[in-house]
Amino acid sequence: MAIEIQTPSTWQQYRTLLGKDLRREFRTREMLTSMGMYALLVLVVYGAALSQTSHSFDILQMSGGLLWAVIIFTSLLGLNRSFAHEKENGCLDGLLLVPLDRSVIFLAKATSNFLFMIVVELITVPLFAFFFLSTSPADTWPLIITPLLIGTVGIAGIGTLLSTITVNTRGKDVLLAVLFIPLIFPLLYACVSATTVALVGGDVEAIYMNALLLAGGYDVVMLLLSWVLYDFVVSA
Amino acid sequence: MRSDRLSASNTQVDTQGACRYALRLKDVSKTFGNRHAVDHMDFDLPRGAFLSIFGPNGAGKTTLLRMLSTLSRPSAGSIELLGIDIKEHPDQARRHIGFISHQSMLYGDLSAEENLMIAARLYGVVHPEQRVADMLDAVELSHRRLDLARTFSRGMTQRLSIARALINDPDIVFLDEPYSGLDPHAVEVFDELIASVRADRTFVMVSHDLDKGLAACTHALVMARGRRVYFSSREDLDRDSFSDLYRRTVGMGVS
């Protein structure tokens, strides 16, 4: 029985790979559960750490930093897992044997990581606001959505590249954090600035916009770099 | 086994019909730091041949197989697969390759059908549903098509892994220690299945099992310390002297 093969489009291959990751995750809920639980535990620790502060202490001033600390540590947990299941049973080799552009693997994996992080943020951010923003944030608070989106895109992109690099190493959990946090620092700094200004208020136009430009520019450069380097990284 | 379902008759990938050789290696080396995992390897393998690769642990067999299957790039030398330079055109070569390993390359949390469907779509099989159904039928797993791959026994996993490797109807199939972890019955089933898909395909197998490797092969390669110690066609091979050579080679160890 003859079979017919037509080179699939990049879009078709991307959809197949992304669909595979989503289907697998929604069946096992492995990453979402572990990331969600971890985020909740960090919030509990925050609660304990901040329970003895005086009433005059304005938590709003540091809320941007605290929120991003939860997001960074939670995403590290998810990123560590994202390639681990590709290594089980040699599945990554199975993908590399297929005639497909390696950057498609990167894009699909980065997209699934982004989506999982967004789901966790949708739970974490309201909880964070409920428990820790006792004083009312500024009217500009809805503006935190943009730095959250830009930051999550960057974390998912760079994190996917780094988790591919570290997946074969012995101390991959530690190594990912050691590489990831210094590399992500400019993005983190910009996102914390933009989030804090949006929550506290003040010179939103100058600080917020500059921070977003820095974060957006960082995302574009790093994502393009990750895309270009991915073939080399995944085949090494 | 339903050999008709698995028969090698893919007209789409038969673009290299004029090429006599399935594989041509010229001075191929792979180094990791200062260590030569594969050292100046040369050989030509005709189309339709079955090459068994023997050697002690660390001889470079798997490294060679990974280079031949485009999973790893040679540090030096050239490899032609059906006349395609795999360094220059790896994606073109990948269309012709199937790979069966002791690792299943299957997602345990996806069903048998889903695993095959992903592979079929990535390769661009035109009627993936039909092809997947045919392949599941061929490896006699149709009744388990909706079960998760992680619930399968080792033998069933290996059969599903064969179906996955052959989903694109490859011209060359690489087998990396495929008997590893299989019980005698599963080995028998595996042999039957491989025999049923033999047809015009070329096979390259890495194995520690001398009897199985020799029984199947048309060509034999013995490696030690990354080098070719022996390469011959089966007709020119004297079993006694080959066994002797193999024992001496295994005794040489890795370094």
Q: Domain count for chain B, please give it.
A: 1
CA distance B253 to chain A (A): 26
Give the count of Cβ contacts less than 8 A between chain A and B: 106
- Residue B96 sits at the chain A interface (C-beta within 8 Å): no
Q: Do A24 and B7 touch (CB under 8 A)?
A: no
Measured between beta carbons, the chain A residues lying within 8 angstroms of B152 are none
Segment B173-196 shows an average pLDDT of: 86
pLDDT at B8 over 70: no
CA dist B190 and B179 (Å) reads: 8
pLDDT, tens digit (0-9, with 9 covering 90-100), for B210-220: 888 888 899 99
Domain housing B164 = 20-250
Token pair for A133: 């923003």
Distance of CA B96 to the CA centre of its chain: 12
pLDDT at A211 over 60: yes
**Domain assignment of residue B156, yes or no:** yes
Which residue among B5, B7, B97 places its CB closest to the CB of A97? B97
pLDDT at B122 over 70: yes
Supply the pLDDT for residue B5.
46
- Chain A residue with minimal CA distance to B75? A236
Instruction: Say which CATH number the domain at B227 has.
Output: 3.40.50.300
Token pair for A226: 């990750």
- Chain A residue with minimal CA distance to B170? A3
Measured between beta carbons, the chain A residues lying within 8 angstroms of B9 are 1-2
Q: What mean pLDDT value characterizes chain B?
A: 87
Strands B21-32 and B219-224, bridge-based pairing: unpaired
**Domain assignment of residue B15, yes or no:** no
**Domain assignment of residue B54, yes or no:** yes
**Domain assignment of residue B1, yes or no:** no
Complex confidence, ipTM? 0.87
Supply the pLDDT for residue B196.
84
Least confident of A40-54, A213-227, B96-110: A40-54
Segment B211-232 shows an average pLDDT of: 90
**Domain assignment of residue B152, yes or no:** yes
**Domain assignment of residue B10, yes or no:** no
Measured between beta carbons, the chain A residues lying within 8 angstroms of B99 are 93-94, 97
**Domain assignment of residue B200, yes or no:** yes
pLDDT at A72 over 80: yes
pLDDT at B182 over 90: no
Question: Residue A232: which pLDDT band, with cuts at 50, 70 and 90?
Answer: confident
pLDDT at A201 over 90: no
Question: Residue B255: which pLDDT band, with cuts at 50, 70 and 90?
Answer: very low
Question: Residue B4: which pLDDT band, with cuts at 50, 70 and 90?
Answer: very low
Query: Could you tell me which residues come within 8 angstroms of residue B57 by beta carbon, excluding any fewer than 6 positions away?
Result: B254
Measured between beta carbons, the chain B residues lying within 8 angstroms of A8 are 121-124
Supply the pLDDT for residue B9.
41
Q: Do B109 and A28 touch (CB under 8 A)?
A: yes
Which residue among A3, A20, A94 places its CB closest to the CB of B105? A94
B83 in Cβ contact with B119 (< 8 Å):
no
- Residue B126 sits at the chain A interface (C-beta within 8 Å): yes
CA dist B24 and B40 (Å) reads: 13
Question: Residue B157: which pLDDT band, with cuts at 50, 70 and 90?
Answer: very high
**Domain assignment of residue B13, yes or no:** no
